């Protein structure tokens, strides 16, 4: 007899259980072993493991809790645990799905669910690990597509959503492939830690749902995730100015204060609350309490000046990053993550502006002394007068590495680091994550960048690194993710679509491209931050900022009830429409992400 359906819907088909599975090793350097068994509620034996699965839900939606115990007499290296199901839609002829990587800058957009599966990543495991939960695709996943954290598949109007309700225990990956008239979907949790004999751990819950609206399924999934992880989604709307996209690393104290004076003079014209200093002020990456020669007065004077002008002071840091020129590197090199292959300190990224040698190293948040250091630094920065913190390049903490405590998973290591920052700034400060794996941050950050950096240009400059083009700074990349992840706003956090640049000088963006970015910010109701040289803006350019902030504020008030969405989210890589409630009115925005004219239907 075929297995009883897990889910059933008259309009969306059925979902049947297929298998539970696990990957283990007898030791960290031993060959990987695969174990599987039929997916049933209750206890499942998977080699040396006993998996306990508990189902809660109804015919259209089910959440499974997952607990793992090492039933063997010897330690086991637990690599991953997963559950698999098969969806049979009414018509499987036209299948599309949401693909997304696991951090802020990673690609998110609609793609066809074809028979080929995801192509191999062309630039090696280290770079793949920047944007995927696994640094290498498992060989047995050839022919499968993948999406981190959550996905939704559509077949006409029918849709099936699946995801892992991450909270910092493990990273979740959804694998998908066509199987005749069915769609196979497997949710795999990457754990990568040892289990002693008899030891048991609770993993993340997984959630499956059927319906006839892909956007509504994603919104309901985000609601469930937010409830499970204690999402901080009720912070006030954020409207502000940031130094980065005009001054970049060349920002100076004089330039910053000149823009602050201009914002005071234009308060009625540019109604914002936040003024944030970005990268370029610090003595060295890792030495966040000291400024360089471009900021001779120090951070406390900056915070006092912003506060005295009637704005909220904000500050950028990259808390897990350390360069060789920093005092922190010199004093505590033993605090750094080590390369997993034993080749010295982990190289978390390459950044030629930050350090002469280019390589940036990473603090090990599995160390209690590192957590104490982070908490102390951020308490001091908050005491200096900064109640708003943008923390960046956070993915570095979750890279594959040899950590001080091997029993702390990569997801938990990141969660511990974020928790230390939150402990330092306190419960009332606003914390914005950037370059951050999404799941472990839920419940700790108030805002999250949900796309790649925007830029004063539409397409990625130059040929770029193979495989990374959709993740690199570009206006088009930012637009795509702003629409594709609109369902996260006010459910997991406040969405940060990145900054608006309204200027026409020192920018290659056309006025249509500026308007498209402004419309995407406004209609999705996320944070509205702009980044231009304020004194140089024309009246027309200021009007773009003013109108974007006003509309985004209105949409955000309604977005708490879930009214901002991209209705045809999966039909194209970049959604062509977005709708939102703004006061008593509805906003409709149309987007053409292609380089040629397109016809859009409403």
Comparing 582 with 456, the larger pLDDT belongs to 456
Nearest CA to 274 out of 306, 243, 236, 312 is that of 312
Are β-strands 76-88 and 182-195 bridged in parallel, bridged antiparallel, or unpaired?
antiparallel
Instruction: Give the rounded distance of the alpha carbon of 505 from its chain centre.
Output: 31
How far apart are the C-alpha atoms of 394 and 29, rounded to whole Å?
Answer: 27
* Bridge pairing between strands 200-202 and 274-277: unpaired
Q: Name 580's Cβ contacts closer than 8 Å, sequence gap at least 6.
A: 523, 524, 525, 555, 558, 559, 563, 564, 565, 586, 587
Provide mean pLDDT across the span 535-544: 98
Q: Nearest 5°: CA angle at 454, between 364 and 352? A: 50
- The length of the chain in residues reads 602
Q: Is the pLDDT of residue 462 over 90?
A: no
Q: Are 275 and 240 in contact (CB under 8 A)?
A: yes
- Given a cut of 70, whether residue 556 has pLDDT beyond it is yes
Average pLDDT over residues 133-148: 96
Query: Which of 527, 575, 530, 529 minimizes the C-alpha distance to 218?
Result: 575
pLDDT for 372: 98
| pLDDT cut 70: percent of the chain above it | 99
In the set 287, 392, 496, 532, the catalytic residue is 392
For the chain, report the end-to-end CA distance as a whole number of angstroms: 45
Q: Mind listing the pLDDT tens digit for each residue in 311-320?
A: 999 999 999 9
Active site annotation includes 453: yes
The arithmetic mean of pLDDT across residues 247-274, rounded, is 97
Place of tokens 């018509």: 91
3-state secondary structure of 579: strand
- The domain 239-318+368-590 having CATH identifier 3.20.20.70: the answer here is yes
Q: Is 120 exposed, middle or buried (0-12, 13-18, 19+ CB in 10 A)?
A: exposed
Q: How does DSSP assign 156-177, residue by residue?
A: TTEEEEEEEE-SSS-EEEEEEE
Tokens 């936040």 belong to 274
Model pLDDT for residues 103-128, shown as the tens digit of each residue = 999 999 999 999 999 999 999 999 99
The answer to whether residue 561 scores a pLDDT higher than 60 is: no
Kind and range of the H or E element at 98? strand 95-100
Task: Let me know: does 368 contact 375? Beta carbons within 8 Å.
Answer: no
Q: Given pLDDT bands bounded at 50, 70 and 90, which one contains residue 266?
A: very high
**Mean pLDDT calculated for residue range 249-257:** 98
Domain coordinates in residue numbering, the chain:
7-229, 239-318+368-590
Query: Does residue 273 carry a catalytic annotation?
Result: no
Task: Assign 582 a pLDDT band (cuts: 50, 70, 90).
Answer: confident
Give CA–CA dist 396/346, Å, rounded: 9
Round the average pLDDT of the chain to a whole number and report it: 96
Residue 158 gets the label, from left (phi > 0), alpha (psi -120 to 50) or beta, of beta
3-state class (DSSP) for residue 385: coil
Give the residue-averaged pLDDT of 350-369: 98
Give 362's strand partners.
Answer: 321
As a whole number, mean pLDDT of residues 546-571 equals 87
Q: What is the pLDDT of residue 559?
A: 64
User: What average pLDDT does this structure show over 530-539?
Assistant: 98
Q: Does residue 1 surpass a pLDDT of 50?
A: no
pLDDT-derived band at 17, boundaries 50, 70, 90 = very high
Q: For position 342, what pLDDT does the model report?
A: 76
Q: CB 445: neighbour CB atoms within 10 A?
A: 29
Give the integer Cα–Cα distance in Å for 89 and 96: 12
Give the pLDDT mean for 51-75.
97
Angle at 219 between CA 217 and CA 224, to 5 degrees: 95
pLDDT at 498 over 90: yes
pLDDT tens track for 194-237: 999 999 999 999 999 999 999 999 999 999 999 999 999 999 99
Sheet holding 528-530: strands in order across? Answer: 494-496, 447-449, 430-433, 388-391, 312-317, 274-277, 239-242, 528-530
Give the DSSP letter of residue 293. T
CB distance 516 to 259 below 8 Å: no
User: How confident is the model over 343-364, as a mean pLDDT?
Assistant: 96
Beta-ladder partners of 317: 391
Alpha-helical runs (H) found in 141-284: 214-229, 244-247, 253-265
Question: Confidence band (pLDDT; 50, 70, 90) for 562?
Answer: low
Q: Per the structure block, which two tokens stand in for 344?
A: 């010295």
pLDDT in tens, 143-164: 999 999 999 999 999 999 999 9
pLDDT > 90 fraction of the chain, expressed in percent and rounded: 94
Query: Catalytic: which of 287, 453, 498, 556?
Result: 453
Q: What is the pLDDT of residue 560?
A: 55
Look at the block and give the residue holding tokens 């292609």: 594
Look at residue 341 and tell me whether its pLDDT is greater than 60.
yes
Q: What is the dihedral of CA 301, 382, 244, 304, to 10 degrees?
A: -20
């Amino acid at each position: 007899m075929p297995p009883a359906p897990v889910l059933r819907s008259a309009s969306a088909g059925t979902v049947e259980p297929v298998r539970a599975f696990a990957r283990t090793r007898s030791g960290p350097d031993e060959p990987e072993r695969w174990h599987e068994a039929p997916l049933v509620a209750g206890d499942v034996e998977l080699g040396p493991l006993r998996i306990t699965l508990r189902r809660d839900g109804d015919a259209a939606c089910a959440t499974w809790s997952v607990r793992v115990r090492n039933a063997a007499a010897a330690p086991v290296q637990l690599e991953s645990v997963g559950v698999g199901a098969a969806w049979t839609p009414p018509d499987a002829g036209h299948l599309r799905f949401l693909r997304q990587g696991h951090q802020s800058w990673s690609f998110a957009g609609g793609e066809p669910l074809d028979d080929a599966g995801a192509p191999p990543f062309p630039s090696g495991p280290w770079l793949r690990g920047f944007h995927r939960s696994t640094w290498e695709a498992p060989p047995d996943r050839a022919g499968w597509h993948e999406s981190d954290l959550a996905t939704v598949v559509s077949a006409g109007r029918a849709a099936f959503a699946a995801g892992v309700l991450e909270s910092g225990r493990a990273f979740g990956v959804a694998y998908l492939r066509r199987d005749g008239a069915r769609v196979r979907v497997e949710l795999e949790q990457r754990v990568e830690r040892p289990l002693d004999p008899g030891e048991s751990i609770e993993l993340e819950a997984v959630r499956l749902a059927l319906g006839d609206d892909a956007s509504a399924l994603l919104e309901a999934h985000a609601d469930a995730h937010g409830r499970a992880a204690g999402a901080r989604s009720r912070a006030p709307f954020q409207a502000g100015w940031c130094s980065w996209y005009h001054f970049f690393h060349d920002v100076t104290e004089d330039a910053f204060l000149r823009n602050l004076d201009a914002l005071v003079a234009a308060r009625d014209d540019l109604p914002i609350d936040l003024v944030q200093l970005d990268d370029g002020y610090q003595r060295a990456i890792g030495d966040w309490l000291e400024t360089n020669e471009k900021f001779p007065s120090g951070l406390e004077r900056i915070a006092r000046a912003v506060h005295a002008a009637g704005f909220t002071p904000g500050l950028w840091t990259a808390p897990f990053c350390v360069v060789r020129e920093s005092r922190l590197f010199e004093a505590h090199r033993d605090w750094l993550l080590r390369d997993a292959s034993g080749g010295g300190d982990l190289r978390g990224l390459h950044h030629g502006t930050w350090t002469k040698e280019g390589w940036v190293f990473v603090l090990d948040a599995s160390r209690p002394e590192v957590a104490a250091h982070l908490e102390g630094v951020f308490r001091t920065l908050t005491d200096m007068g900064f109640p708003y913190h943008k923390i960046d390049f956070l993915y570095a903490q979750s890279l594959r590495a040899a950590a001080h405590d091997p029993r702390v998973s990569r997801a938990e290591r990141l969660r511990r680091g974020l928790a230390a920052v939150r402990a330092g700034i306190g419960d009332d400060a606003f914390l914005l994550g950037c370059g951050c794996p999404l799941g472990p941050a839920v419940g700790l950050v108030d805002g999250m960048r949900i796309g790649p950096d925007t830029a004063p240009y539409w397409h990625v400059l130059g040929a770029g690194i193979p495989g990374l083009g959709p993740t690199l700074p570009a206006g088009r990349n930012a637009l795509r993710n702003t629409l594709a992840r609109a369902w996260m706003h006010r459910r997991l956090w406040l969405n940060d679509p990145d900054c608006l640049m309204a200027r026409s000088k020192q920018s290659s963006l056309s006025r249509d491209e500026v308007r498209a970015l402004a419309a995407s910010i406004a209609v999705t109701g996320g944070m509205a931050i702009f980044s231009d040289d304020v004194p140089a803006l024309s009246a027309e350019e200021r009007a773009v900022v003013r109108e974007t902030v006003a509309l985004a504020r209105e949409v955000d008030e309604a977005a708490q009830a879930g009214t901002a969405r991209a209705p045809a989210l999966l039909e194209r890589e970049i959604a062509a429409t977005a709708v939102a409630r703004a006061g008593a009115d509805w906003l409709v925005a149309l987007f053409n992400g292609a380089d040629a004219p397109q016809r859009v239907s409403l």
